[in-house]
Structure 1
Amino acid sequence: MEALAQVLSCSVCLELFTPPVLVLSCAHNFCKKCLEKILISQNCSHVNGQFSCPMCRKIIPLRGRGIIGLPRNILVESILEKYKYELENVHAKEQDQLSQICEEHGERMNLVCLTDDKPICAICKLFGEHESHNVAKLSEVYSERKKRLIKDLDWVNQQSEHAEQAKKEIEMLINELTDTAAEVKVVIDATGAGLLKGIRRRMTELKAILGKEYSVKVENLQQLANELEVPRNLYREMKTLLEQHSNSVHFLQEDKILRSKIEKLAKGNSLYPNKKDYHISVGQYFKDLIKATHINNYVSSNSDETPTRSDELPDVFRPECPTFSFSDEMSNESFYEKLMDFFQKANETKQDLNQNASHRDNNSTPNRNDI
């Protein structure tokens, strides 16, 4: 093998030929890469140049084609390929032989230590660390283990087939989930867009109704406010007449007119409007907004935006009443009743405060009979 290796070695790199192998007219062979280096070292860069063989110094002309024009030695390349194959086999056999030799004693391992489950040599059993261990012949253990491995191989193969089938089913489930998720997303987008559109339209309608109700009630209150100027104006006319009448005739004439105004004022309605007639129901507008809408789709006990504490609500809806919370099991009707009860208590608290203030104002206003 060594003599063959020398024949198949390049005289330039001193290694086995690296294909392609080029043969010169003097019959010497070289690696193509090594021959390119030779041309560079001899300053032969022209396609019509010439160089000398490193082995015999014979002049080799390139004949107008450069190094490409030199023939390949297919025979050497074929022999080289077979030599490398045989060399690998020899190396593998040597490694196989070495793997069967005990590294500690250099003897062939023909026993198996059953205690440590490892191959050993006879010296390991007689004088080594495995002296007190149970052992068996390596050939017998090998035959038994090989049969067991073949049996296990069949079982593992079955498991592999089952796993492959399960993997296909999982891939199908993933594809179905992907398709279903895409379909549900489309449904959510379409349905959500429709709901939002409906809610926005309803919000616009309710705002228009609220604006109209507000305008009418404010206009009426403004009219009442103007009527409340009548007593003050009448008071000024009476005081002016009392202080500035020129004679008794003039006084009696003007007094007659003022008495008719006083009687009209006495027959008139109360100076204070009925506050219930000028109240805007928050609860009613809220009820109209969420009508035909499942409130649990928007309000959940897990939502961070759910006002579960009274201190999270605006000041106007923070009465001295128990707080409430939302639940997923709560129906629309029970939720609405609970929420309306909360708003009702808030409104009653506001009305009580307003009535107390009005009562204090009434006590400070003089009655006509007291004049």
Structure 2
Amino acid sequence: MEALAQVLSCPVCLELFTPPVLVLSCAHNFCKKCLEKILIRQNCSHVNGQFCCPMCRKIIHLRGRGITGLPRNILVESILEKFKHELESLQAKEQNQLSQICQEHGESMNLVCLTDDKPICAICKLFGDHEPHNIAKISEVYAERKKRFIKDLDWVFQQSERAEQARKEIEKIINELTYTIADVKVMIDAVGASLLKGIRWRMTELKTKLGKEYSTKVEKLQLAANDFQIPRHLYHQMKTLLEQHSNPVHFLQEDKMLRSKIDKLIEGNSLQQDTKEYQISVGQYFKDLIRGIHITNYISSNSDEILANFNELSEVFSPECPAFSFSGEVPNESFCQKVLDFFQKSNEMKQIHTQKVSYRHDNNVSSEMNTFLETEPLPRQSSV
């Protein structure tokens, strides 16, 4: 192999030829890149130029085509490709053999120390540190471990599938949370605007609380989603080892590491998620928003005009409406549900007619809200 490597080496760079390989009229071969450097050193830059072969000093004429006119040695390139392939195979075999040799004694490792769970050679057992330990033939341990490995692989695959399904459920919950937070913001804006600027501090407080709650829940869900990817990664590692391990020693060394991951996965295996924990209550935010406020005191005859001119809300309401009085009273469930049903109906209408939203539509919605609040006096219950 060494003699063949010398034959297939470039006389300039002294390395294996780098294709394309060019052959001169004197039969000497060079890498194209090396030949380009030779031309530069000999100041041969013209397509009709000439240069000396660095091996035999013969004058080579380019004949009007420059270096591209020199023929390629296809035979050498073909032999070089096969040589590299054989060299890689030989190196892989040598590496495979070395991995099965005991580094301490230079003997083949055909035993397994059951106490330390590692491959050893016969001398390690007879005269080495493993003399008092229990041992077994590596072929027997390999067959037993491989069967268990395949069984664990199937289990990890099932866990991976379940984890993937759970991850998709989490993504669905995140999407629902995104839609919910949009609905909550719409509700807060609409109700808060009709309650004058005196409630704006509460609106800001609730939006901040809502953002923190949303961020916390999404962060927990994303962390859970990342955990659900662990079984799939482990499955791919185990499958790759099963299909591509080069020898029993390599397999047993990797099996020990992967089994520790399997044990951790068994200990922390929990693919169930309580979706109720990650929901946001629109009703609770609504109660917090109007807690202690007498809504009927803030509905005037021109409420349609006020809702239509949302940007001028504070200027319109200021001279007409009394200041807010927070008594700590909370509206009862029936009243809250009616108001929430009203906003749900309004949101559904907006989704159907998204492209047709206009000021006229806003006036109709505000008129319906005004009529509702005038016909539904605010029930009160004991303070909480």
| TM-score category, normalised to shorter length | 0.5 to 0.7
1:27-50 CA distances to partner (integer Å, 9 max, x unpaired)?
Answer: 322112111111111111122211
Q: Distance in 1 between matches of 2:73 and 2:182?
A: 64
For residues 125 and 161 of structure 1, the distance between their equivalents in structure 2, rounded to whole angstroms, comes to 44
> Which AA in structure 2 matches 1:134?
N
Distance change (3 Å), C-alpha of 1:50 and 1:130 = same
Partner of 2:25: 25
Aligned to 1:157: 157
Shift of residue 73 of structure 1? 2.8
Shift of 1:21: 2.0
Separation in 2 of the partners of 1:46 and 1:186?
77
* Aligned counterparts of 2:190 and 2:77: Cα–Cα separation in 1: 72
Residues matched between the structures, number: 221
User: Equivalent residues in 2 for 1:187-226 (5 A)?
Assistant: 187-196=187-196, 200-206=315-321
Q: Is it true that 1:111 corresponds to 2:115 in the alignment?
A: no
Letter in 2 for 1:157: F
Compared CA separation, residues 40 and 205, structure 1 to 2 (3 A): same
- Name the counterpart of 2:98: 98
Change (3 A) 1:170 1:103: same
Partner-residue secondary structure (3-state), 2:112: strand
CA RMSD of aligned residues (A): 2.8
C-alpha displacement of 1:113:
0.5
User: Matches of 1:201 and 1:189 in 2, distance apart?
Assistant: 17
The 1-side partners of 2:68 and 2:330 are apart by: 84
Using the alignment, how far apart are the partners of 1:110 and 1:66 within structure 2? 62
Question: What is aligned with 1:348?
Answer: none
Cα 1:134–1:332 change in 2 (3 A) is same
Cα gap change, 1:67/1:166 in structure 2, threshold over 3 Å: closer, same or farther? Answer: farther
SS of structure 1 residue aligned to 2:109: coil
Change (3 A) 1:14 1:204: same
1:257-285 CA-partner distances (Å, limit 9, x unpaired): xxxxxxxxxxxxxxxxxxxxxxxxxxxx4
What letter is aligned with 1:35? L
Q: Does 1:120 align with 2:120?
A: yes
Tell me the residue number matched to 2:289.
none
How much has 1:295 moved relative to structure 2?
7.5
Query: Deviation of residue 71 (structure 1)?
Result: 2.9
Contact 2:9 2:16 in 1 (8 A): yes
Structure-2 change in CA distance of 1:21 and 1:190 (3 Å)? farther
Q: 1:60 to 1:181 in 2, by over 3 A?
A: farther
User: Could you tell me which residue of structure 2 aligns to residue 316 of structure 1?
Assistant: none
Match of 2:307 in 1: none
Matched residues in 1 for 2:194 and 2:330: separation? 17
- Percent identity of equivalent pairs: 76
Q: Contact 2:329/2:382 (CA < 8 Å) preserved in 1?
A: no
Three-state SS of the structure 2 residue aligned to 1:4 is: helix
Q: Residue 63 and residue 204 in structure 1: after superposition, are their counterparts in 2 closer, same or farther (change >3 A)?
A: farther
Once residues 159 and 199 of structure 1 are traced to their aligned partners in structure 2, the CA distance between those partners, rounded to angstroms, is 57
Q: Establish whether residue 176 from structure 1 lines up as the match of residue 176 from structure 2.
A: yes
Contact 2:11-2:30 at 8 Å conserved across structures: yes
- Per the alignment, residue 185 of structure 1 pairs with 185
CA distance in 1, matches of 2:70, 2:188: 75
CA 1:205 to 1:80, structure 2 compared with 1: closer, same or farther past 3 Å?
same
Q: TM-score, normalised by structure 1?
A: 0.53
Q: Determine the C-alpha separation between the residues in 2 that align with 1:116 and 1:65.
A: 70
Conservation of the 8 A alpha-carbon contact between 2:23 and 2:29: yes
Query: Who wins on radius of gyration, i.e. which is larger?
Result: 1
What is the CA–CA distance in structure 1 between the aligned matches of 2:117 and 2:325, rounded to whole Å?
77
CA distance in 1, matches of 2:186, 2:20: 63
Query: 2:330, 2:381 within 8 Å by CA — same for their partners in 1?
Result: no
Q: Once the 2 structures are TM-superposed, how far is the Cα of residue 79 of structure 1 from its aligned partner?
A: 2.5
* Aligned-partner residue type, residue 43 of structure 2: N
Q: How does 1:238-257 map to 2 (within 5 A)?
A: none
How far off is 1:70 after superposition?
2.5
SS of the residue corresponding to residue 60 of structure 2 reads strand
What residue identity is the alignment partner of 2:316? R
CA distance in 1, matches of 2:91, 2:34: 28
- 1:188-337 equivalences under 5 Å are 188-196=188-196, 200-206=315-321, 285-286=322-323, 289=324
Q: How far does residue 159 in structure 1 lie from its aligned partner after superposition?
A: 1.7
Q: 2:140 is paired with a residue of what secondary structure?
A: helix
Q: 1:184 offset after TM fit, Å?
A: 3.4
Residue 58 (structure 1) shift: 2.2
| Structure 2: gaps of 5 or more residues | 197-309, 332-378
Deviation at 1:296, TM superposition (A): 6.7
Contact 1:294 1:332 in 2 (8 A): no
The Cα offsets for residues 5-29 of structure 1, whole Å up to 9 and x where unpaired, read as 1121111111111222222233322
Change (3 A) 1:21 1:171: farther
Aligned to 1:143: 143
Cα gap change, 1:176/1:50 in structure 2, threshold over 3 Å: closer, same or farther? farther
> How far does residue 106 in structure 1 lie from its aligned partner after superposition?
1.1
Taking the aligned partners of 2:69 and 2:189, their CA distance within structure 1 comes to 72
